[in-house]
Amino acid sequence: MQLTVGPNQFFWAADRWAELYQELASAPVDRVVLGEQVCSKRLPFFQERIPEAIEVLQAAGKDVMLTSLALVTLKRERKQTDALAEMGVSVEVNDLTALANLPEGMAFTVGPLINVYNEGTLNWLAERGATRICLPPELPMESVEVLCKAAQDAGVEIEVWGHGRLPLAISGRCYHARMHKRAKDNCQFACEDDPDGLDVRTLEDQPFLAMNGVQTLSDTYACADEQIEALTSAGVTALRLSPQSKGFAEICGLYRQRLGGDLGRGALAEALRAMDSEMRLSNGFLTGKTGVEWAAE
Amino acid sequence: MVMEIVCPAGTPAALRAAVKAGAHTVYCGFNNETNARNFPGLNFDREEMIEGVAFAKAHGSKVLVAINTFPRAGAEHIWHEAVADAQAAGAHAVILADVGLLAYAAKNHPNLRLHLSVQAAAANADVINMYARDFGVKRVVLPRVLSVPEIAAINAETEVETEVFVFGGLCVMAEGRCSLSSYATGLSPNMNGVCSPASHVEYEDDGETLDARLGGYTIHRVGKDEGAPYPTLCKGCFKAGEATGHLFEDPVSLNAEQLIPQLEKAGVTALKIEGRQRSRSYVAQVVRNFRRAVDALDAGQPMPEGFLASLSEGQATTTGAYKKTWR
């Protein structure tokens, strides 16, 4: 089982952003997806740092991909999407617009925000040149198993969301701007204050969701500790870890230890909780009744 | 050409009411997980679909069959059968969201007209043209995240007809890209055809306040004499930082009646009304009013003013993303 680091979902200052990829160059991960997935207004702030980050990671032997936006509507966003293929690394499609813009015959990978729920969709993407698919986090283990079989026949690698706040929704409306009573076009980058998203609580102060500009995430951090053996035997070949502002390189190390057998089942979750008691974990999309649940044997 | 009114029907009775009220087109679904309004007691069995299509055709109306959830891995045949049965029933088109299902339909039912569901969240001309090129899609239902100028820009760059929602429930998230409901309840629009399902709603009345919970999360709290809105997740009341309120969207519904002339100028072909869960009398009233509006527009007469206010059931309404200020 390999480890893939997904794109940073949040808005960080460019120096902090670049630092993450310096750290990841020496982290025990196989693959890194970078770029902007959530909001096209953020990209200009770190765009010119991308080539250097790619270089650093490639020099360290990592596979590098560039993500598309999750929702492409504006002309500017279509141009950004169109330009992805020219960066010299493989494109991770997270809105089918990116696929529409790819030169015919160019191989690509598929991110967790594309709705790959069944064999028909998987096969269609494989025929179009998909080499790797990270499944939507919502999928239960039964679907993962069926899709792994189809992927083997189609020659596609299957990846599953392994760690991090779950991307639950994307909108045309920016909630950070709305909360600050600003229009999206004049958001003044309110989301920059929340490097892991802004906690959204219920009226009874139960932690529930996290706000990240136009994106809504789970409060909980998904963690596949309990399911790693089942995912491996199903044929999943990589786990996706989603960046967070604190201790991320250490978290990558813990997952590597778990995959290598140095940490047993349950010990990974325990270590994560010891790192940060506020990091509430969930794994319910894979094996529970609801996504938010934590199910352990 | 007069703009087409596309009207919901959750039951055969609602279909007949809509057709009699003047709906150009009615959309409905089979009574299983293949459609995105998979509510108990709603939708059509195979026999009812055949009869419904025949009734509509006899009155000069068309029927669209929504097969717009994402087929479950290992069970795609359920969705494939739905496509075959919709064609056999004589449907004018099927409304699909999943690329695997679109590929299947394009290959196995080459004469069946395909519409792209709002659940596909196709929000620009590049991707819409890809759906046309790869699957022969003839119409796209646009996601409710676009402004009128953005819709006009899309129409300028595509031959695919566009259909937009003008009345009824409003998703604030890009449809087909939202798993809030399954995170809290285990059931989602994409997989199960339901959002914030009634089976997971509880109300608690302590004499002073009434709490509405979804999947155990308190989403609304009102005084004992206030009406409690249905706890739809994205329209709930939450706290973040110092703020308490409807952080995603207020409990409002969509009413874009005033924008019909602008939507026509933007090149929109069809106006869609949400609400397959609504009663036949509601459906008939909405259809009658929208027909009056588009007929007036077509005849160069002024639009009837505020004609739908009474139908929003005292609820606040919004023009949603069509006016850019919404964002």
A12-43: per-residue pLDDT in tens?
999 999 999 999 999 999 999 999 999 999 99
Quick one: B95 and B226 in the same domain?
Answer: no
C-alpha closest to that of A245 among A4, A5, A10, A7: A10
Quick one: B267 and B290 in the same domain?
Answer: yes
Size of the A and B interface in Cβ pairs below 8 Å:
212
Quick one: B237 and B268 in the same domain?
Answer: no
Tell me: the pLDDT tens digits for B147-159?
A: 999 999 999 999 9
Quick one: B110 and B218 in the same domain?
Answer: no
Give the nearest partner residue to A198 out of B172, B183, B240, using CB atoms.
B240
Task: Check residue B310 and give its pLDDT.
Answer: 63
Question: Which of B245, B271, B290 is the last residue before a domain boundary?
Answer: B245
Quick one: B124 and B51 in the same domain?
Answer: yes
Of A85-99, A136-150, A276-290, B291-305, the range with the lowest mean pLDDT is B291-305
Task: Check residue B312 and give its pLDDT.
Answer: 60
Quick one: B25 and B160 in the same domain?
Answer: yes
Judge whether B204 lies within some domain.
Answer: yes
**Domain count within chain B:** 2
Quick one: B96 and B223 in the same domain?
Answer: no
Judge whether B179 lies within some domain.
Answer: no
Judge whether B182 lies within some domain.
Answer: no
pTM for the complete prediction? Answer: 0.96
A140: tokens are 């239960």
What is d(CA A118, CA B109) in angstroms, rounded to the nearest whole number? 19
Please indicate whether, in this complex, the C-beta atoms of A138 and B191 are within 8 angstroms of each other.
Answer: yes
| CATH number where B16 lies | 3.20.20.70
What is d(CA A275, CA A261) in angstroms, rounded to the nearest whole number? 20
Amino acid at A250: E
Quick one: B138 and B217 in the same domain?
Answer: no
**What does pLDDT average to in each consecutive run of 10 residues of chain B (327 residues)?**
95 96 97 87 95 98 97 97 98 98 98 97 96 98 92 97 93 94 95 91 88 92 81 93 92 89 97 91 92 93 73 71 74
Task: Check residue A150 and give its pLDDT.
Answer: 98
Task: Check residue B315 and give its pLDDT.
Answer: 67
Quick one: B135 and B203 in the same domain?
Answer: no
Judge whether B228 lies within some domain.
Answer: yes
Please indicate whether, in this complex, the C-beta atoms of B145 and A171 are within 8 angstroms of each other.
Answer: yes
Please tell me the distance in Å from B298's CA to the nearest CA on chain A. Answer: 30
Predicted confidence (pLDDT) at residue A70 exceeds the cutoff of 90: yes
To test the contact with chain A by mutation, choose from B72, B83, B99 the residue with the greatest count of A C-beta atoms within 10 A, namely: B99
Quick one: B85 and B216 in the same domain?
Answer: no
Question: At A267, is the secondary structure helix, strand, or coil?
Answer: helix
Q: Note whether ipTM > 0.90 here.
A: yes
Please indicate whether, in this complex, the C-beta atoms of B177 and A101 are within 8 angstroms of each other.
Answer: no
Task: Check residue A186 and give its pLDDT.
Answer: 86
Query: From the centroid of its chain, how far is CA B176?
Result: 12
Max CA separation in chain A (angstroms): 53
List domains and CATH numbers for chain A: 2-167+220-277 (3.20.20.70)
Tell me: the pLDDT tens digits for B160-214?
A: 999 999 998 888 899 999 999 999 999 999 999 889 999 999 998 888 888 999 9
Closest residue on chain A to B326 (Cα): A173
What is d(CA A14, CA A20) in angstroms, rounded to the nearest whole number? 10
B201 close to B212: Cβ distance less than 8 angstroms: yes
Judge whether B183 lies within some domain.
Answer: no
Phi, psi of B139 (to 5 degrees): -145, 145
Of A9-13, A63-67, A133-137, B37-41, the range with the lowest mean pLDDT is B37-41
Closest residue on chain A to B186 (Cα): A290
Task: Check residue B311 and give its pLDDT.
Answer: 67
What is d(CA A167, CA B57) in angstroms, rounded to the nearest whole number? 44
Judge whether B184 lies within some domain.
Answer: no
Please indicate whether, in this complex, the C-beta atoms of A95 and B127 are within 8 angstroms of each other.
Answer: yes
Judge whether B306 lies within some domain.
Answer: yes
Please indicate whether, in this complex, the C-beta atoms of A173 and B182 are within 8 angstroms of each other.
Answer: no
* Domain with B201 in it: 189-245
**Quick one: DSSP state of residue A288?**
S
Of A64-68, A110-114, A166-170, B245-249, the range with the lowest mean pLDDT is B245-249
Query: From the centroid of its chain, how far is CA B317?
Result: 16
Task: Check residue B319 and give its pLDDT.
Answer: 83
Please indicate whether, in this complex, the C-beta atoms of A173 and B172 are within 8 angstroms of each other.
Answer: yes
Please tell me the distance in Å from B326's CA to the nearest CA on chain A. Answer: 7
Chain A hits for B101, CB-CB cut-off 8 Å, are 120-121
Task: Check residue B326 and give its pLDDT.
Answer: 66
Quick one: B280 and B241 in the same domain?
Answer: no
Given pLDDT bands bounded at 50, 70 and 90, which one contains residue A120?
very high
Judge whether B20 lies within some domain.
Answer: yes
Question: Which of B227, B245, B263 is the last residue before a domain boundary?
Answer: B245
Chain B hits for A205, CB-CB cut-off 8 Å, are 239
Chain B hits for A77, CB-CB cut-off 8 Å, are 124
Question: Which of B214, B245, B276 is the last residue before a domain boundary?
Answer: B245
Quick one: B226 and B81 in the same domain?
Answer: no
